[in-house]
Amino acid sequence: MKKTIVSLLNYLFICSILYTLYGALRSSLLDISNINDKIWVFLLCLLFISAIIFCSESSRLYLNKKSKQWFEFFKKNIELITKMLFILTIFLQVIILYYIHVPLDWDVDGIHASVTELIKNSPDSIASIYLSGNPNNSLFFFLMYFISQIGNFFHQSLGYSWMFWQLVNTIFMDIGFIFIFLAAKNLFNKKVAYLSFYLAFIPLALSPWMLVIYTDIIMLPVISIIFWLYSLAIKNHKKHLIVFLGILTAVSYLLKPSSIVFLIAYILVSLITLITEHRKIKLKKVILITLLFFLPFAGTLKLFHTFENHQKLVIIDKSKAKPWQHFVMMGVRGSGGYSVEDTDTINSLPSKQDKINYANKEIVARLKNHGFIGYTKFLMKKHLNNTDRGDFGWGRDGNPQVYVKSNDPIQIFLRDTYYQQGEKVKTVRIFMHLMWIVTLLGLLFATKKEEKNEDTDYLLAIFKLTILGAFLYLLLFEGGRSRYLIQYLPTIYILSAYGFYSKLPTIEQNIKKL
C-alpha cells in the first residue's frame, strides 16, 4: 500500500511539473525579441570567439584542462567563495537601492501609507479603511509599524522613507537565503544546501523584487526558518523546538494563510506513514508532540487577535472584511486572478453576511457556466497563468514607477534595468525565467530516487505534497499570476536542489572525462 501511495504521489508530481515546464517553455518571456540589442552584440561576439577557439584542438584541450581546474577550485573553496559573493551582493543591493528606491502602489502602498499616517500622528482613516477591508494584512502592518518606529528612533523621517522600507525588504530576502541553506544542510547535506542557496540567490538577490516590501518576500525567511527549526527538532530530537515551530507556523499563517500548506502536507504524510507501516503507535509521544505544537500555535493566534481587538492604534471594522469566498469567486473567472469588478462589488455590500452570500451565489453560477469540461480547461490554463513566469510577475501588479528625472547615468541605467517600464528589465526577466526553467528541471530529477532511505523518502514526500498542495490552492483561490509562488520558493528550491544533487555523480564523472 505504501509503495502504491508513493508511486501515485510521484506520478502526480511529475505530471504536474512536466505541465508546469511546458508552460514555462511556452512563456512570452522567452521571446528573444525582448533581449536588448547590446546584449545581442555581446552574445554574437562571444559566439564568434568561441567558434574560433574550438576550431583549434590545442585550444579545446587547454579549455578542458582549465575547466577541470576551475571546477576543482570552486569545489575546494566553495564556502569562502559563497561568503564573499554574499557580502559583495549585500553591498550591491545597498548601492542599487540608493539609486532606484521608489514608491510603489497597490497593497504595498496601502500598508506604507497606513503606517506612515500613524507615524506622523495623522488621523487613522487610511489605515482603518485598508485594514478593515484587508484584515489578513494586520500582522504585517503592525510589524512594519514597529520596524518603522525603530527607523524613526535613528532619524525623524527615516521610518517611512521608501529607501528604508525597501532596504528592510532586502534584509528579509537575505535572511531567507541564509536559512534556506541552513535548513537544506540539516535536512539533507551540504551539497544540497549550496545548490539550494544558489538556486534562490542567483535569480532573486539582485532582482526587482528588492523593491516590493510585502508579504511575498517576507515569507522567504519565515518559511525557511520553520524548515530550519524542523530540521533541528528531528536531527537533535529536541522536543522544546516543537513549541517554537508552533509559534512560528502561527506567525506564518497570520502573515499569509496560504503559506502553511506544508503543515497539511506534513500531517497527511505522517498519517499515511502510520497507517501503512503498521508500527506500534506510541500514543503518549504522539499526544505530547501534538500538544507541544498546536497549543503554542493556537495560543499565538489567540494572543494576536486579542491584541488586535484591544489595540488603540487603528480602528478595524471586521464587518467590512473581504471573506475567503471572495478570493474563490475571483479565482473562477477571467484569468483566475484579481478582479476590480468583483472587489468593488464586494466592498459595496453592507454586511459580512451579504458579502458571503453574494460570493457563494457567484461561485455556483460561474461553475455552472463553465461546466465540467470547461472548468477543467479553465484550471489547466489558470495553472499556466500561475506558474509560467520566472520573473514571478514583476510589474504585472501596479502601475509604472513614477520618479523625478535624473541626469545621473548610473541612475538612468539602473532605473531602465529595474523599473517595470524600462527597456533593459526585459533582459532581467528572461534571465530570471531561465533560472526558473533550471529549477523546474531539478524538480523533475527529484522524482527519481537514487537511494533507499526512509527518512529521505519521508522528507521528499512532504516537499512534493507541499508543492502539489500549493498548485491546488492557487487553482482554487485567487491566482492568475506567478507572484503567489514566492511564498513556496523555499520548498521548491530545496527540492530542486535535491534533484540536482541526485544527478551530481553523473555530472562530476562527465567533467572528469573531458
3-state secondary structure 289-310: HHHHHHHHHHHHHHHHHHHHHH
Q: In sequence order, which residues have a C-beta less than 8 Å from that of residue 168 and are 6 or more positions away?
A: 144, 147, 213
Closest CA to 148 of 170, 163, 137: 163
Dihedral sign for Cα 69, 439, 81, 428, please.
positive
Average pLDDT (468-484) is: 93
C-alpha to C-alpha distances, 49 to 39, 45, 46, 63, 475, nearest whole angstrom: 15, 6, 5, 13, 47
Cell numbers for 166: 525597501
pLDDT score at 222: 97
Query: And the C-alpha cell for 317?
Result: 471594522
pLDDT at position 511, please?
Answer: 47
Query: For 347-403, how does the pLDDT look when each residue is reduced to its tens digit (9 = 90+)?
Result: 888 888 999 999 999 999 999 999 999 999 999 999 999 999 999 988 777 788 888
Beta strands, E only, 10-118: none
d(CA 479, CA 396): 12
The three-point CA angle 345-346-351 to 5° equals 125
Assess whether pLDDT exceeds 50 at residue 146: yes
Instruction: Output the pLDDT for position 122.
Output: 56
Give the pLDDT mean for 491-506.
88
Q: If pLDDT is split at 50, 70 and 90, which confidence band does 39 have?
A: confident
**Which pLDDT band, with edges at 50, 70 and 90, does 508 fall under?**
low
Cell (9 digits) for 347: 466592498
Report the alpha-carbon distance of residue 247 to residue 204 in Å, rounded. 28
Contacts of 222 (CB under 8 A, 6+ apart): 248, 251, 252, 255, 259
3-19 residues labelled b (16+ CB within 10 A) or e (exposed): eeebeebbeebbebbee
- Of 53-67, 259-273, 391-405, the range with the lowest mean pLDDT is 53-67
Q: What is the pLDDT of residues 94-128, one digit of tens each?
A: 999 999 999 988 888 889 888 888 766 654 568 88
Least-confidence region, from 41-45, 231-235, 439-443: 41-45
Residue 476 has pLDDT above 60, yes or no: yes
Would you state the pLDDT for residue 472?
96
- Alpha-carbon distance values, 487 to 26, 213, 245 (Å): 24, 13, 17
State the pLDDT at residue 29: 87
What pLDDT is attached to residue 280?
62
Give 210's pLDDT tier (boundaries 50, 70, 90).
very high
Look at residue 60 and tell me whether its pLDDT is greater than 90. no
Give the whole-number percent of the chain exceeding pLDDT 90.
57
Lowest mean pLDDT among 54-63, 194-203, 255-264, 320-329: 54-63
3-state secondary structure of 306: helix
Residue 57: per-residue pLDDT: 66
- Report how far residue 366's alpha carbon sits from residue 370's, in angstroms, rounded to the nearest whole number: 6
Mean pLDDT of the chain: 88
Closest CA to 479 of 335, 264, 326: 335
Among 40-54, 254-268, 414-428, 478-492, the range scoring the smallest mean pLDDT is 40-54
Question: Is the pLDDT score of 271 beyond 70?
Answer: yes
Instruction: Tell me the pLDDT band of 191, cut-offs 50, 70 and 90.
Output: very high
Cβ distance 277 to 2 under 8 Å?
A: yes
SS3 content of the chain, % helix, strand, coil (to 5): 80, 0, 20
pLDDT of 188 strictly over 80: yes
**In the predicted model, what is the mean pLDDT of residues 248-268?**
95
Torsion of the alpha carbons at 127, 130, 131 and 134, rounded to the nearest 10: -170
The pLDDT tens digits of the residues spanning 383-398 come to: 999 999 999 988 777 7
Lowest mean pLDDT segment, chosen from 269-278, 284-293, 300-309, 424-433: 269-278
pLDDT at 506: 60
Question: In terms of pLDDT, which residue wins out, 309 or 274?
Answer: 309
Residue 450 has pLDDT above 60, yes or no: no
Task: Name residues whose C-beta falls within 8 Å of residue 30's C-beta, 6 or more positions apart in sequence.
Answer: 430, 433
Share of the chain above pLDDT 70, in %: 91
Residue found under cell 532619524 = 155
312-324 mean pLDDT: 86
> What per-residue confidence (pLDDT) applies to 374?
94
- Higher pLDDT: 301 or 334? It is 301
CA dist., res. 78 & res. 281, Å (int): 44
Residue 443 — pLDDT band, cuts 50, 70, 90?
very high
pLDDT for residue 281 = 64
Considering the entire predicted model, what is its pTM? 0.92
Asked if pLDDT for residue 321 goes beyond 60, the answer is: yes
